[in-house]
Amino acid sequence: MIDPDGFRPNVGIVLMHEDGRVFWARRVRRDGWQFPQGGINSDETPLEAMYRELQEETGLVPEQVEVLGATPGWLRYRLPAHAVRRHERLVCIGQKQVWFLLRFRGREADFRLDLSEKPEFDDWRWVDFWYPQEHVVAFKRGVYTRALAHLAPLARAVAGTGAVPVPEGGEMPPLRRYVRRS
pLDDT at 31: 83
State yes or no: pLDDT of 55 exceeds 90.
yes
Q: What is the pLDDT of residues 119-169, one digit of tens each?
A: 999 999 999 999 999 999 999 999 999 999 999 999 999 999 999 998 676
Distance between CA 102 and CA 155 in Å, rounded?
9
From residue 106, give the alpha-carbon distance in Å to each of 20, 62, 109.
15, 10, 8
Domains of the chain with bracketed CATH: 7-159 (3.90.79.10)
Name which residue leads in pLDDT, 80 or 104: 104
pLDDT at 169: 67
Angle (CA) 29-33-36 rounded to 5° is 100
State yes or no: pLDDT of 180 exceeds 70.
no
Q: Give mean pLDDT, residues 88-113.
A: 92
pLDDT at 178: 41
State yes or no: pLDDT of 107 exceeds 90.
yes
Distance between CA 167 and CA 182 in Å, rounded?
36
State yes or no: pLDDT of 86 exceeds 90.
no
Q: How many helices (H) and strands (E) does the chain have?
A: 3, 8
pTM for this predicted structure: 0.90
Is the separation of the CB atoms in 70 and 155 below 8 Å? Answer: no
Q: What is the pLDDT of residues 3-54, one digit of tens each?
A: 899 899 999 999 999 999 999 999 998 889 999 999 999 999 999 999 999 9
